[in-house]
Structure 1
């Protein structure tokens, strides 16, 4: 029975994906613990620490579907060590093989490594989907490289840009997020096999050889020293997810803002049958975008808690681990939903170039004030030019007049420019700066 929206049969599709739920399912959690124990005994069997045939038997039975997982959960009512798993595993192993499981390890070695294996599996999904989001955005950069629209600062029309330029900023930010994800692999996906206080005292002869081979089997980095209480890797991982969620949330919020009825330059994908309101049939609400914003907000709130969990005591402290067990899976599960929906929005984004063109003239030419000022400045000086254009703009704004008429009413402007020159300066298409050049630079940067 589901008790959270993530696992809900009703709300589940809004808060995660089946693919990510499988990564953090009880079965996969137990399987990752078994994979860790199996890698340990395999390494020990190869090194002659335990009989190799026993190690082979243990590996053959290391299958979570063979265990009674609810029974393991019952044991956890009185224990938070790995003992409940060991009891259940021993019951299905032949002969006395169970006596050789967990040889020289401590519970946290298995639990930490199991979580890292789950994080790594989740990471591959997240990285894949971040790259797909960027691919869809790069297509938009190319397709709308020259589509002129209003640039806005502080929610007010500022200067003209192109849609290609706007989404190129998204593409480059996604690229940096992907770069961060790729760089953290060597620091975060590191296994743990160190014994009670991290000194491998239980395996004095071949402890390091066991650790090396075990990490090779699991395809994890080998630590230079135990990290039982050094939780910076988990904090970095949660922080990277929070940054990814920040990017996705910002993009979704920008599209939502531009879907307003009064603007309607962009719109999330629509299909017949998608209902926006139970009472207002006309509504095409940005409900998917709102969902992305919500789950990404939740992902960002998780990162501070994982950073707080870095404060561990002495050589081991289960208090910090419990935070990670609850929070890291939740961050991955929620981000999976944000990514799943972002992929669809960015692939099938509805663009309204005609509305962008119409909106360029909503301020009746005032948006081109900088252009006018920069043309006046060489003749009159910058501050004088600013004063004249400011006075002209404020008058036109309050009277809701055309900027051209207001400019022609200014003697200094009439003396400096012909009417044709004023028309040219007031055309938004003539003042794009290097918008298309920057879009091209981003396309070139990520060309493959």
Structure 2
């Protein structure tokens, strides 16, 4: 959906929209009932009614019981909302991992092409020692692989506890609870784990975007976005817009994940008074912003323009200073400086590429 406040939001598609939330809640009720239910065409009315009970399930059940009076027996509102959130999160994470794997594939190609492309390493913004652009890409790739590993470990448990987690209504109805379905009304690790993994994805994407922002400055010019954005007043500009938007996401998602932790820390009694309610929109924003950022990172890496000539020129202009450490190490070891001062950088690039290819191969089986 279009969102003028968050350019690119449409990349997140139908994930965590009000419509998909309603559909997921109806699916939860239908699965519990054991028969299909039609999704009510009363979204605006439900949204307004939700304020009266503090959540949308109460009004939804009223509508669904027009189709079958047995709807919702044994459940509580939190069972439905939590289970719906988990279903939506599982679908969103599947889309997210598709884009993450695409980013990995693109970075593998970059790392292999530039494993030996010389450039100067920078530490604390200053020239340090020689390195290769492939080594820099290997750092990007490692961050994305680590983020994908965290996302892959997520699970999405549905919720079935009844009014206070005791499942007393199920017992009274003589209905056994499905095996393996936990109750986590006031233990919110399933939510916070998702939040942490998503924030990790935007961390990894920002790792790439930040380097592109710095290295595409005109006075450096070692990288450029394939199709830069324009300016409303300066026709000569080609702004690194994708990198800016990816960085934007990474500046906001950690706070969203922190809100989920704060909500988890505020749980009380057997059902929370506000902590639970704070999660829904927070998780929605976190999911959608992460999906957008990873998709934009995929486009960024796909179109990235690498300028080895500028990298070589910068390294040459740094002169003998970038080899000062080598001279002191060689003197300490009692031998002349070696022709190259790259250590095992290229071997490291190769190792990261192997890890990435193994990850891609495992996921394709």
Same fold (TM over 0.5): yes
- In structure 1, stretches of 5+ residues that fail to align are 1-5, 43-55, 213-220, 380-415, 418-423
Distance between the aligned counterparts of 2:343 and 2:283, measured in 1?
A: 44
Q: In the alignment, is the contact (CA less than 8 A) between 1:112 and 1:192 conserved in 2?
A: yes
> In structure 2, do the counterparts of structure 1 residues 28 and 374 end up closer, same or farther at CA, with 3 Å as the change threshold?
same
Provide the residue aligned with 1:89 in structure 2: 64
Provide the residue aligned with 2:22 in structure 1: 30
Deviation beyond 4 Å, 4+ runs, structure 1:
205-208
Provide the residue aligned with 1:409 in structure 2: none
Single out whichever of 229-238 and 197-206 deviates more from structure 2.
Answer: 197-206
**TM-score normalised according to structure 2 size:** 0.92
Alignment of 1:96-175 (within 5 A): 97=68, 99-175=69-145
Provide the residue aligned with 2:210 in structure 1: 253
> In structure 2, do the counterparts of structure 1 residues 241 and 79 end up closer, same or farther at CA, with 3 Å as the change threshold?
same
**Is residue 2:346 matched to residue 1:436?**
yes
Provide the residue aligned with 1:410 in structure 2: none
**TM-score normalised according to structure 1 size:** 0.75
- In structure 2, stretches of 5+ residues that fail to align are none
Provide the residue aligned with 1:198 in structure 2: 165
**Is residue 2:46 matched to residue 1:72?**
yes
Provide the residue aligned with 1:222 in structure 2: 181
Question: Which SS does the other structure have where 1:371 is aligned?
Answer: helix
Provide the residue aligned with 1:305 in structure 2: 259
Match of 1:238 among 195, 198, 211: 195
1:7 positional shift:
4.6
1:80 positional shift:
2.1
Q: In the alignment, is the contact (CA less than 8 A) between 1:15 and 1:295 conserved in 2?
A: no
1:157 positional shift:
1.0
1:288 positional shift:
1.7
Distance between the aligned counterparts of 2:135 and 2:234, measured in 1?
A: 36
Match of 2:331 among 343, 353, 376: 376
- Structure number with greater Rg is 1
Q: In the alignment, is the contact (CA less than 8 A) between 1:113 and 1:192 conserved in 2?
A: yes
1:230 positional shift:
0.7
1:292-327 C-alpha deviation (Å, 9 max, x unpaired): 101221112111111000121100014111111110
Distance between the aligned counterparts of 2:237 and 2:30, measured in 1?
A: 56
> In structure 2, do the counterparts of structure 1 residues 123 and 36 end up closer, same or farther at CA, with 3 Å as the change threshold?
same
1:78-131 C-alpha deviation (Å, 9 max, x unpaired): 12242200112233x2xxx2x200111111111111111111111111222112
